Amino acid sequence: MANTKEKPVDDVNPEVKEAEKAEEVEEQRDVIEKEEEEEEEKDKSFEELRLDPRLIRALTKKGIEKPTPIQQTAIPFILEGKDVVAKAKTGSGKTLAYLLPLLQKLFSDCGSKKKKPAPSAFILVPSRELCQQVYAEVSSLIELCRVQIKAVQLTSSMPLSDMRNALAGLPEILVTTPACIPKCFADGVLDPAAISDSLEILVLDEADLLLSYGYEDNLRSVTSIVPRRCQCLLMSATTRSYGQERTTQARVSLISMFRMIAASVMEICLRTTLMSS
């Protein structure tokens, strides 16, 4: 009796299967390329973001030709004077996303003969290392732009004499950690009343870490003197890490504190395939 049993469905010519797989891969590649082309069409240049030509020239000298997604999204809002909460992965360009518009907003004051009694911009970061990084970046931009703006960095480990010398020239930008502010108040290096009169922009960088490092009380000492007119920028990463529940609670607490001093908040949440979910 002849064997009439049909061949299994999977028993297909290997060459046919390979051809089908190649065709499927090609279709996926076409979809990806189309999405990339559409994304490129949406990209804006620094000129289109209405950045000052001096900043654009400085970026060109640093080898930066086009803005990252977080920069494209955040810079226009910040230039408009909006309070911003921006969340994007580490390495996405968040530092320049706030430094560029911050400097541009200070350019208009750099020709003024009358110096303010305290810095116009505070940038609060969670660690001394990040303080040094942000200070180096803003100092580099100021030097390349050739503008009369002074930035200083303060950390709680600095001798009191060094702090006084750093602030003696009435800098426009102060990069520091939250723990350093109460120390400066106690030592008379910074005057809370002068800050209330002068502060225009407050940046909380790496906001997720600011509270997880135990800075909540220090932050409250700062936010309690921030004037209502002050523009507030909160920057944070979105990657998950150990102790996420605690980090989430810290974020909620920090944003709640942020909203107490902010007239409005523009939410910016960039989700990309490189970001953990």
User: pLDDT value at position 117?
Assistant: 85
**Higher-confidence residue: 121 or 253?**
121
CA distance linking residue 230 with residue 197, whole number of Å: 10
Q: What rounded mean pLDDT belongs to the chain?
A: 78
DSSP conformation class of 127 = S
DSSP conformation class of 45 = -
User: pLDDT value at position 257?
Assistant: 54
Cβ atoms of residues 86 and 235 within 8 Å: yes
Percent of the chain predicted with pLDDT > 70: 69
User: pLDDT value at position 147?
Assistant: 94
Judged by DSSP in three states, 112 sits in coil
pLDDT higher than 80, residue 267: no
Judged by DSSP in three states, 240 sits in coil
pLDDT higher than 50, residue 145: yes
Least confident of 115-124, 143-152, 256-265: 256-265
Least confident of 102-111, 150-159, 193-202: 102-111
User: pLDDT value at position 274?
Assistant: 34
User: pLDDT value at position 247?
Assistant: 44
Write the DSSP assignment of 53-107 as a string of letters: HHHHHHHHHTT--S--HHHHHHHHHHHTT--EEEE--TTSSHHHHHHHHHHHHHH
User: pLDDT value at position 156?
Assistant: 86
* Interval 24-31 mean pLDDT: 53
User: pLDDT value at position 19?
Assistant: 58
CA distance linking residue 236 with residue 87, whole number of Å: 5
**Higher-confidence residue: 56 or 114?**
56
pLDDT band at 208 (very low <50, low <70, confident <90, very high): confident
User: pLDDT value at position 90?
Assistant: 82
* Interval 94-116 mean pLDDT: 86
**Higher-confidence residue: 259 or 167?**
167
User: pLDDT value at position 219?
Assistant: 83
Least confident of 7-11, 96-100, 213-217: 7-11
H helices present in the chain, as ranges: 14-42, 53-61, 69-79, 94-107, 128-145, 160-168, 180-186, 192-198, 207-212, 216-223, 244-261
Percent of the chain predicted with pLDDT > 90: 48
User: pLDDT value at position 150?
Assistant: 95
User: pLDDT value at position 17?
Assistant: 58
Q: Which residues pair with 62 in a beta bridge?
A: none
**Higher-confidence residue: 205 or 114?**
205
Highest mean pLDDT among 149-158, 210-219, 241-250: 149-158
Domains delineated in the chain: 44-269 (3.40.50.300)
What's the CA angle centered on 244, arms 87 and 90, to 5 degrees? 35
Q: How confident is the model over 171-205, as pLDDT tens digits?
A: 999 999 999 999 999 999 999 999 999 999 999 99
